[in-house]
Amino acid sequence: MKVLASNASSGYATLLLDVAPGVRFPAHHHGGDEQCYVVSGSMYTLGRRLGPGDFLHAVAGTNHSELWTDEGARVILIVPEDDVPV
């Protein structure tokens, strides 16, 4: 994971994340809005495949189902700074 930008005034960070093949993220809750843009590879969630150029917006306060990748993926995420692992 690489932090591309962090904005203290908005409280959000922009991340570049390379997800290895076979990785699964468990269902989780979004405290703040999360935006995900798929650069390459693919991911699956909510019964749909997200491929290059696809965008997903999870609104604050929503529950997000499991998310996984079979082939691996490179994504750009915009998330609350509190959600960025140290």
Domains and CATH numbers, the chain: 2-83 (2.60.120.10)
> What integer best gives the mean pLDDT of the chain?
93
* Residue 75 to residue 60: CA distance in whole angstroms: 20
pLDDT at 78: 96
pLDDT in tens, 10-42: 999 999 999 999 999 999 887 899 999 999 999
Report the pLDDT value the prediction gives residue 86, as an integer from 0 to 100: 65
Please report the pLDDT score of residue 14 as a whole number. 97
Tell me the C-alpha distance between 69 and 29, whole Å: 19
Evaluate if residue 75 carries a pLDDT over 80: yes
The first and second tokens of residue 33, run together, are 């809005």
Residue 2, both tokens: 């690489």
